Amino acid sequence: MMARQGWMNGATMLEASMTILDQPEPARKPKGLRALYAWMLANAQGRHAWAAVAAFAFAEASFFPIPADVMVLPMMLADRKRVFRLGAWVAFWSVAGGMLGYAIGHLFWETAGLWLIHTLHVPLEQVEALRLKYSSNAYLIMIQGATPIPYKLVTIASGLAGVSFPLFMLYSAVTRSIRYLVIEAMLVYFFGEKAQALLEKYLEVALVLFLVVLILGFVALKYL
């Protein structure tokens, strides 16, 4: 009787051990950069996400140093069905923010403009170079507004150059639509799944490349 009971206890313990072994290991919480990326994806469809990205795009076009793409792309990846609507939304608010950037260069250069340029550590020679280009070739706004060149510098220099405001608005609308609707929205719509898989696999490399693009944006000021 005791042997039978011992055998039953042993079988129960073995079954319990196998049950524990069969259970999947708890998923590890992401840390560092991956935790930030996971947080951005989780909040990309939040109730305030569209308002937040609008404020981001507006500020980036006039005074904020970080490109709006860091929020736009996760939102596009989180909902590929609405990438074109989101691209149009971001383009609209970027153009609206560009109006403030234009005003800073045209009306408040001696006060807010100079303070902002010094705060962003942008050499005045670069702003002056843009001003000279836009004074004679305003169409360059369309080209440079779609490049990694910080858009706030494009808008401020446009106002400083005295580019016709209606013409500035036209070029601004074209270039930001190219940036967010044609380039980013189309790329995410057609290659979003593959792009997201690669981004999640090589997130750290992607961050380095993003920083390189930012640096190239300032370098491009001399050549574009």
CB atoms within 10 A of CB 191: 11
Instruction: Identify the pLDDT of residue 170.
Output: 97
DSSP 131-188: HHHHHH-TTHHHHHTTSSS-HHHHHHHHHHHT--HHHHHHHHHHHHHIIIIIIIIHHH
| Tokens, residue 103 | 């005003």
Give me the pLDDT at residue 43, please. 61
Domain limits, the chain:
32-222
62-to-16, 95, 106, 151 alpha-carbon distances in Å? 63, 10, 13, 8
Distance CA 174, CA 143 (A): 9
Note the pLDDT of residue 127: 92
Predicted pLDDT at 77: 83
Give per-10-residue mean pLDDT for the chain (224 aa): 52 52 56 61 73 91 86 83 93 96 96 93 90 94 86 95 96 95 87 67 60 61 58
pLDDT of the residue at 150 = 87
Whole-model pTM: value is 0.74
pLDDT at 75: 86
Q: Is 150 helix (H, G, I), strand (E, B) or coil?
A: coil
pLDDT for residue 130: 92
- The token pair that represents 144 in the structure block: 């440079």
* Distance, CA of 201 to CA of 204 (rounded, Å): 9
Exposure letters 7-34 (e unless 16+ CB within 10 A, then b): eeeeeeeeeeeeeeeeeeeeeeeeeeee
pLDDT at 206: 59
